[in-house]
Amino acid sequence: MSEFPEPPMPEDDLPEQMRVRREKRDRLIADGVEPYPVEVPRTHTLGEIRATYSDLPADTSTGAEVGVTGRVMFMRNTGKLCFATLREGDGTELQAMLSLAKVGQDALTAWKADVDLGDHVFVRGEVITSKRGELSVLADEWRLTSKALRPLPVAHKELAEETRIRQRYVDLILRPKARDVVRTRANVTRALRDSFHRRGYTEVETPMLQTLHGGASARPFVTHSNAFDLDVYLRIAPELYLKRCVVGGIEKVFEINRNFRNEGSDSSHSPEFAMLEYYQAYATYDTIGVLTREIVQEAAEAAFGSQVVTLADGTEYDLSGEWSALTMYGSLSDALGEEVTPDTSVEKLRAFAAARELEVDPKLGHGKLIEELWEHLVGSKLHAPTFVRDFPLETSPLTREHRDQPGIAEKWDLYVRGFELATGYSELVDPVVERRRLTEQAKLAAGGDSEAMRLDEDFLRALEYGMPPSGGAGMGVDRLLMALTGLGIRDTILFPLVRPE
RNA sequence: GGGCCGUUAGCUCAAUUGGUAGAGCUGCGGACUUUUAAUCCGUAGGUUCCGGGUUCGAGCCCCGGGCGGCCCA
């Protein structure tokens, strides 16, 4: 660092606490002390020392010499004896002690003058326990390993939510739970991958930059390729590419990656979110539903050691065993007290909505009306994990029509704690029907429905080579984390999109 | 897109009817060789989000804007 010029910030404008820290850095460099050394002789992690010396009585000397590092999270300086709590990456803490008798006057004075809360330090010394029994390293020598120029927020008050999200690094420093979420997420995604690999699935990465956006109904982000002089879309779903894989003979295929939807952002929607999709030849929406339940249960088991998880509010949520299932038309009929079927007229559905003071877009057709009514009257009330089966065909253009019931699609949605976690299908593989459905959607798009899909000729060509009967499903990975932890989406995503300050 | 609420010191928050902007922690100076959010003494720290208006006087009232949260679509 010392070879670089002074920081560009005008020092006069800095808050006092930052000015003081900058001046310490500058003074150290002027005195020939490197505040950002390239390497320090660390011999043990704090965790290793805690593990090795877990049961020492108070006021013990071990004779063991170690070199440790950590961020200073707590300090107590008295006249001739100083204490500091060091914390390392996984949250393990260990106390460092500096006594006049051991380090000498110069090193003790320098410690008091140079070290602030939040600094990284190296301490070499003997492993002991204090008179109060605290496992400590009694320093023979210490040095700065990284000078912090900004003061940490106070540790005893909760950080404002906005600061937590905008400055996640500060959140991670201060809040062990924030680090737990990151590790839980890693455990969950690893569990998902393990579950699929165990079942003989192949993981692929399909295009995020697409010239046509398909596979879902959502508004895309648009960007531009200079090399091709072409507007391209950030994908809204990987579905059409994963089906191309199945056509090509990759009969069990999955992808975990990001989707982008240029739509609202709230406590359960993020413009950029992690999606899991999986397709299997010779599966149906029944077998893919069983698979879905198993991978969620395996993820809970891997992350928490149990299929009964404890949520952020302290309540328990049971994901074990079989999950209940209901049909969309059946459960909606029950909620309305009147039978609705794929033949129920749009006028009648509008009347149901009006009678319940539910405002609906007058442009909505039968399928959308059914889904709106269902979501309002049934979906939002579902708490236990529940498969909702057999959707209106017209709103499921990529789904096979029910084998026995015309007008209904072999599709389910998985509801967990009142929100949609996953959706699965018996895939439509007849290229002629598929072309007809996609063309209808494209016509709607031309009519101004921005959520309708455009025609993907290459995808249809792939289907025309013959896709085996298949089941497929998609699951929001962020939402899986929400389901398992009870957190909002902005706390399951490390760095969610926020407006610039 | 609409409605409501919030925005004040490094952090978390106060501020009566419109009348000198405060506290705790943090910081700075000092005392203390066993501290765990130590204790004690002293002390500093503010463009009250931004711009305009009303007023003798605005953190507070009015108008516009920014950012955020909640609810609704």
Distance, Å, A149 CA → B10 C1': 11
In the predicted model, is pLDDT for residue A3 greater than 60?
no
3-state percent breakdown (helix, strand, coil) of chain A, nearest 5: 35, 25, 40
* Mean pLDDT within A230-259: 95
| A269 burial via Cβ count (<10 Å: 0-12, 13-18, 19+) | middle
pLDDT of residue A501: 73
Average pLDDT score over chain A: 90
pLDDT of residue A17: 87
Residue A14: CB less than 7 A from any atom in strand B: no
pLDDT of residue A365: 86
Distance, Å, A264 CA → B2 C1': 15
3-state secondary structure of A445: helix
pLDDT of residue A395: 84
Residues 84-103 of A with CB under 7 A from strand B: 85, 95, 97, 99-101
pLDDT of residue A447: 65
pLDDT tens for A6-19 read 333 444 567 788 88
pLDDT tens for A444-477 read 766 655 454 468 999 999 999 999 999 999 999 9
Residue A184: CB less than 7 A from any atom in strand B: no
In the predicted model, is pLDDT for residue A129 greater than 50?
yes
pLDDT of residue A443: 77
| Beta bridge pairs of residue A472 | A279, A425
Residue A161: CB less than 7 A from any atom in strand B: yes
* Mean pLDDT within A406-434: 93
pLDDT of residue A1: 38
For the four alpha carbons of A354, A358, A359 and A362, in that order, the dihedral sign comes to negative
Q: Which nt has its C1' nearest the CA of A154? A: B11
Of residues A213, A319, A197, A259, the one with CA closest to residue A493: A259
Residue A163: CB less than 7 A from any atom in strand B: yes
Contacts of residue A10, Cβ cutoff 8 Å, sequence gap at least 6: none
Amino acid occupying residue A170? V
pLDDT tens for A69-123 read 999 999 999 989 999 999 998 889 999 999 999 999 999 999 999 999 999 999 9
Q: Which nt has its C1' nearest the CA of A99? A: B33
How far apart are alpha carbons A64 and A366 in whole angstroms? 76
3-state secondary structure of A245: helix
pLDDT interval class at A148 (50, 70, 90): very high
Q: Which of A246-255, A369-378, A490-499 has the highest mean pLDDT?
A: A246-255
- DSSP secondary structure letter of residue A421: E
pLDDT interval class at A372 (50, 70, 90): confident
Asked if A62 contacts A56 with a C-beta cutoff of 8 angstroms, the reply is yes
In the predicted model, is pLDDT for residue A2 greater than 50?
no
In the predicted model, is pLDDT for residue A355 greater than 70?
yes
B25 C1': nearest CA residue: A154
* Mean pLDDT within A397-401: 89
pLDDT of residue A398: 84
In the predicted model, is pLDDT for residue A331 greater than 50?
yes
Count of all residues that appear for chain A in the document = 501
How far apart are alpha carbons A255 and A238 in whole angstroms? 8
> H-type helices in A89-208, by residue range?
100-114, 161-166, 168-174, 176-198
Asked if A415 contacts A388 with a C-beta cutoff of 8 angstroms, the reply is yes
pLDDT tens for A191-235 read 999 999 999 999 999 999 999 888 887 888 889 999 999 999 999
pLDDT tens for A256-284 read 999 998 887 777 788 899 999 999 999 99
Q: What percent of chain A has pLDDT over 90?
A: 69
pLDDT of residue A446: 65
How far apart are alpha carbons A300 and A482 in whole angstroms? 12
Q: Which two tokens stand for residue A88?
A: 């390392």
Distance, Å, A418 CA → B51 C1': 44
pLDDT of residue A103: 94
- Between strands A272-281 and A308-310, the pairing is unpaired
In the predicted model, is pLDDT for residue A43 greater than 60?
yes
Residues 118-137 of A with CB under 7 A from strand B: 130-134, 136
Protein-contacted bases of chain B (C-beta within 7 A): 9-13, 24-29, 31-38, 44-45, 66-73
Write down the ipTM of this complex.
0.87
